[in-house]
Amino acid sequence: MTRDEVFARVRDHLAAELAVDAASIHEHTRFKEDLNADSLHLVELVVELEDSYGIRIPDDEAAKLDTVGKVADFVAVHVPQGAS
């Protein structure tokens, strides 16, 4: 899975979950400030990513993932080869 594919999936998930236009979500879109996501939304996103990609996102790492681009970077690096 490429980083662009990861970004698109994260963007689409957030758009559906937060009822926002996917076109308004970019690399530097911040979860709390730009999307008004609360801590529950962020926990749900982490769980969704872990389940979808077969990865583990430690709490200390999750706290650093404050933009959509950072999430895409993290997942793209940590997703097992051949996963979709």
Catalytic positions are 38
Residue 21 corresponds to which tokens in the numbers above? 């236009």
Closest CA to 53 of 17, 18, 3, 14: 3
Closest CA to 49 of 21, 73, 82, 18: 73
